[in-house]
A and B are shown apart, each in its own frame.
Chain A
Amino acid sequence: MCTLAHVFEAAGLATVTITSIRAVGERMRPPRVLHCEFPLGRPLGKTNDPEFQHDVLRRAFSLLERESGPVLEEHPEEIVGAEEPLSCTVPPRFDPDLAPAVDEAHGLRKAYERALARRGVSEVGNAIDADGVPDALDVLQNIVNGTPWKEAGIPGGHTTALANDIRAYYEEAALELTDAANPGGHQTEDWFFERTEAGKLILAVRKALAAQGAPQPVWFYMAPMHRS
Chain B
Amino acid sequence: MTDQPSGDALIRQQIGNLPVPEFAETAWTVPPPLAEARVAVVTSAALYPCDGEPFTVTDTSYRALDHDQRQLVMGHWSPNFDRSAFGIDYNVVYPLARLDELAEQGVIGSVASKHYAFAGNQPDDVATIRYDSGPACAAELKADGVDVVFLTPV
Contact = CB atoms under 8 A, between A and B. Distances in A.
Nearest to A14: B31
Nearest to A18: B152
A17 B79 contact: no
A100 interface: no
Interface of A: 1-24, 27-31, 39-48, 50, 53-54, 57, 60-61, 64, 68-70, 80-81, 83, 115, 119-123, 125-126, 158, 160-161, 163-164, 167-168, 171-172, 174-175, 182-183, 185-186, 188-190, 194, 221-228
Interface string B54-91: 10010000000000000111110111111111111101
Contact of A226 (B3, B71, B118): B3
Nearest to B54: A126
Contacts of B73: 121-123, 125
Interface string B138-154: 11011000111111111
B75 A126 contact: yes
Given A11-B142, A19-B153, A185-B85, A24 B16 contact: yes
B91 A53 contact: yes
B82 A161 contact: no
B141 A13 contact: yes
A8 B27 CA distance: 9
A108 B107 CA distance: 44
Contacts, number: 268
B7 interface: yes
Interface residues of B, number: 81
Contacts of B99: 57
Contact of B91 (A11, A44, A115, A189): A44
Contact of B95 (A41, A44, A81, A126): A44
A173 B3 CA distance: 24
Nearest to A121: B50
B8 A39 contact: yes
Contact of B146 (A13, A30, A168, A223): A13
Contact of B93 (A27, A44, A69, A171): A44
B151 to A, nearest CB: 4
6 contacts: A21-B16, A30-B26, A43-B93, A54-B98, A186-B7, A227-B7
Contact of B7 (A7, A28, A46, A225): A225
Contacts of A222: 79
Contact of A4 (B1, B88, B89, B134): B134
B44 A9 contact: no
Which residue among B42, B54, B102, B149 has the maximum number of chain A CB atoms within 10 Å of its CB? Answer: B149
A81 B141 contact: no
A221 B88 CA distance: 23
